[in-house]
Chain A
Amino acid sequence: MRIQVENISKSIKGKPILRDVSLTIASGQSLALIGPNGSGKSTLLRVMAGLLSADRGRVTVDGDRVDKLSPRTLAQRLGFVTQEAGTTDAIPVIEAVKLGRTPWLSFAAPFRTNDQQIVDQAMRAMAISEYKNTLFNALSGGERQRVHIARVLAQTPQVFLLDEPTNHLDIRHQIAIIDWVKQQNATVVLALHDLNHAFACDRVAVMNGGALAAFGPPKDVLVPSVIEPVFKVGVQQNHSNYSDHPVLTFVKYKAA
């Protein structure tokens, strides 16, 4: 599904968080949102997910405005993984993943074998099948994150919006998530902190102070001239035999 963000502005308690952001993601493409803390990545994701309304501008998914679709229809098209959603309930992993089927179920459409198959598949994709009867709260941070992604996979959306999905993950699982993003046929938008992971995406958007500082393919955007002034760090491009893209290393910013 094609996502179009047009002139989005949003203030929270009088403080501008997003300033006139516009970008387009073609169907099946992946977009990395990067930027310093507080640059508006999470807010932009929430506006795209229809969880927050914008003050100005609009977001459309295949031409339909997200704030005009019914929440249920929107949830069938679009899945959102929040950062560190916790619970005090003693809920087993399999039940947590089953929640992802919510937008497809009703009294007329109860949970069926087909839904169970989708749930099993989602748990296999995130390698959590062995924990299915374990309580969510007994898992590590990384395992919990994979449960959340499996839950949104079970939602079978055509667009995935992920707010820092690799946070709290060890390096092996970070790479697993990034690989999963690359293999997706669905449209994926994810907020990232590790700039090197952003090379795996088709497009990179750099946010700075609520505005879009740069937008384009990774090789054009993930370069010192763009990154240094936004993140206030020194950036060096290295070439590695293990990697098909330049590897960025960072040093303390020396103002020119």
Chain B
Amino acid sequence: MVATLGFALVVGETRIPLEVIWSVLRIEAGYTAPEVNPIDHGILWSYRLPRAIVAMACGMSLALSGVVLQALLRNPLSDPYILGLSAGASTGAVAVAILGFGAGALTLSSGAFIGAMLAFGFVAWLARLARGPGSSATSSLALLLAGVAGAQLFHALTALIIAKSADANQARGIMFWMMGNLSGSRWPDVYLAVPVALAGAGVIFAHFRALDAMTFGREAAQSMGIRTGLVMAVLIGVAALLTAVMVSLTGAIGFVGLVVPHAMRFMVGVQHARLIPATALAGGIFLILADIVARVLIPGQTLPIGVVTALVGAPAFAVILVRSSRAHSS
């Protein structure tokens, strides 16, 4: 993680050598260090470092939300983006930002949280209706289609709010909310993202046994002494909060919650005591790397980071979809 962070600082429009980075960090920490070109200093300290840290916190949060949703809904294709949580969060954040129910990062996040919870409620309700009576685990198909419906609905609402109330400049922000973008990340964002990511990770890790116990379904977990209703309420709330805060800071970045947990299950196994820390770490690294790619892929232009994660994530999604439908039919 530290190496990736270092890498993120070096790479960019202008290459900054490691010695310079080291000097800047020492100067900012109050030590004496060799003089540094003030432009390099500015790029590093005000742009690249907070941006990389936000990417890390965001990757951690989205990947952990994915782990939680996959375990609780017992569906390998669950992820905050696919289930429409991110879309709901975007709508909530846009409503706050443009319709002006107050301002500032905190109200933006609360708007996003409300949006995410509404979206989740809508998708869960729809999937339940579509599932029909009799079957216990929500089928992948019902959940996916409900997620598609939910995401489209909330995307449409976002577009509507922007089209109705925003000027042309704000309207360009629609890309920001739908594809995700880290270019606006500054230190104040770090102060929100990092504590939220760490607290969320802590709460999720504290429930690793309950998440394990859900392997064979809610009833089995309940018979092993887990208060499943309470655990689901708390952890889905945490997943929605993590998603909401990150979306309000960076827009809706897709597929992180899908790709990272599955890769980690493959590497460390399905036990959450190992899976949660591994996913947090890998999620952070993945998004920092994705952001580096977004910055350097087309010289002189920065891609929305969601484009990069989708390029990796969509094929991975296809693979998981095929494998999980085979597991169901066998």
Residues on A lying within 8 angstroms of B by beta carbon are 46, 49, 51, 70-76, 78-80, 82, 85-92, 95-96, 99-100, 102-103, 105, 107, 137, 148, 155
Set A70, A86, A87, A103: member contacting B224, Cβ < 8 A: A103
CB distance from B69 to the nearest CB of A (A): 13
Q: Is the CB of B209 within 8 A of A102?
A: yes
CB distance from A228 to the nearest CB of B (A): 30
Q: Which residue of A lies closest to B212 (CB)?
A: A99
B74 within 8 A of A: yes
Q: Which residue of B lies closest to A148 (CB)?
A: B216
Q: In the complex, what distance in Å separates the CA atom of A85 from the CA atom of B226?
A: 16
Q: Is the CB of A102 within 8 A of B74?
A: no
Known: A46-B219, A86-B217. 20 other contacts (CB 8 A): A49-B223, A71-B225, A75-B223, A76-B225, A82-B216, A82-B220, A82-B223, A85-B220, A86-B137, A87-B74, A88-B75, A88-B324, A95-B269, A96-B215, A102-B224, A102-B225, A103-B224, A137-B327, A137-B330, A148-B216
CB distance from A139 to the nearest CB of B (A): 11
List of A residues within 8 angstroms of B270 by Cβ: 89-91, 95
B227 within 8 A of A: yes
Set B74, B75, B213: member contacting A99, Cβ < 8 A: B213
B46 within 8 A of A: no
Q: In the complex, what distance in Å separates the CA atom of A85 from the CA atom of B216?
A: 6
Q: In the complex, what distance in Å separates the CA atom of A90 from the CA atom of B215?
A: 10
List of B residues within 8 angstroms of A92 by Cβ: 269
Q: Which residue of A lies closest to B328 (CB)?
A: A88
Q: In the complex, what distance in Å separates the CA atom of A100 from the CA atom of B215?
A: 12
Given contacts A49-B223, A71-B226, A82-B223, contact A87 B209 (CB under 8 A): no
Scoring B residues 196 to 219 as 1 if CB is less than 8 Å from chain A, else 0, what string do you get?
A: 000000000010010011011101
Could you name 10 residue pairs across A and B whose Cβ atoms are closer than 8 Å?
A49-B223, A72-B225, A82-B216, A87-B217, A89-B270, A92-B269, A95-B269, A95-B270, A99-B213, A102-B212
List of A residues within 8 angstroms of B170 by Cβ: none
Q: In the complex, what distance in Å separates the CA atom of A79 from the CA atom of B327?
A: 28
List of A residues within 8 angstroms of B328 by Cβ: 88
List of A residues within 8 angstroms of B225 by Cβ: 70-76, 102-103
